[in-house]
Amino acid sequence: MNRQYRGIQQKIRGTATSDGAGVRLTRVIGSQAMPMLDPFLMLDEFGSEKPGDYIGGFPSHPHRGFETVTYMLDGRMRHKDNHGNEGLLTPGSVQWMSAGRGIVHSEMPEQEQGLMRGFQLWVNLPAKEKMSEPKYQEFNAGQIPQVTLPDGAKIKVIAGQVGDVIGPVVQPATNPLYLDVLLAAGQSFEHGLPSEQNAFVYVYEGELALVVNDEKLLVKTRELVSLTKGDAVRFEAHAETRFIFVAGNPLNEPVARYGPFVMNTQAEIHQAIQDFQAGKF
Ligand code: CO
């Protein structure tokens, strides 16, 4: 059977913004150009060598109703929450946090200088799990399997599966794929994907093409593309290229969001604000 290759549905560039205590970042998903890509609510890229761009960090703030996924490429970030959890994110580590019914946490740079770089992705939870107990899945660089395919692609499997290598993150609600891919110039990588999943690619170094039959669709550095439907994706690098490739099952539920609260209805948002103010997180 012929594979149906996915092409580009929408191509966007991120918007420079700041969040937390003045952390400069690029908001990609969750911007005006792409408010969400069900089940993904937000993608921020942070990256700077200037301490002034990140040192303020993200002091104490709440979350309810979804998951925050932090993937550190460089630098160190300490997180602490109001349930007594604390940990240090080191280069190459991933924290997949289900906020569920609510946590209040801080995410603060541990380092005072040097390069701080990574991503934060917000993944929605279905209505029936929005008020579940908060939980963490946290893995350091050594716990994230890396595959080198026969034609040279190097892939860190954070969530999902490449060949018989399975990423450590488990989330049946959205069945996510989260890959960090490195291709040398001229190398290609092909991956099958369930046709019902929404997917995006964000190139953070280099430049690649999505190959759809005879067509090559270019994606440059700092561009994000959401993908059309299909059951496979084929990438070809034009230079040494690094990108994240993320997919998940859409929830197809109404979304009511207000800052760090993402629920299904406005009434649930009001409840979240009240509960937070009453110290019930
Ligand atoms: Co947070």
Would you list the domain boundaries of the chain? 8-277
58 Cα–ligand 1 center, Å: 7
206 Cα–ligand 1 center, Å: 29
pLDDT score recorded for residue 103: 97
260 Cα–ligand 1 center, Å: 8
pLDDT score recorded for residue 111: 86
119 Cα–ligand 1 center, Å: 12
Please give the CATH architecture assigned to the domain spanning 8-277: Sandwich (2.60)
16 Cα–ligand 1 center, Å: 19
Tens of each residue's pLDDT in the chain, 281 residues: 689 999 999 999 999 999 999 999 999 999 999 999 999 999 999 999 999 999 999 999 999 999 999 999 999 999 999 999 999 999 999 999 999 999 999 999 998 889 999 999 999 999 999 999 999 999 999 999 999 999 899 999 999 999 999 999 999 999 999 999 999 999 999 999 999 999 999 999 999 999 999 999 999 999 999 999 999 999 999 999 999 999 999 999 999 999 999 999 999 999 999 999 999 99
106 Cα–ligand 1 center, Å: 7
51 Cα–ligand 1 center, Å: 20
69 Cα–ligand 1 center, Å: 9
101 Cα–ligand 1 center, Å: 14
- Asked whether 263 and 64 are in contact (CB, 8 A), the reply is yes
239 Cα–ligand 1 center, Å: 34
Three-point CA angle 117, 123, 129, nearest 5°: 140
pLDDT score recorded for residue 177: 98
194 Cα–ligand 1 center, Å: 30
255 Cα–ligand 1 center, Å: 19
89 Cα–ligand 1 center, Å: 13
90 Cα–ligand 1 center, Å: 17
104 Cα–ligand 1 center, Å: 8
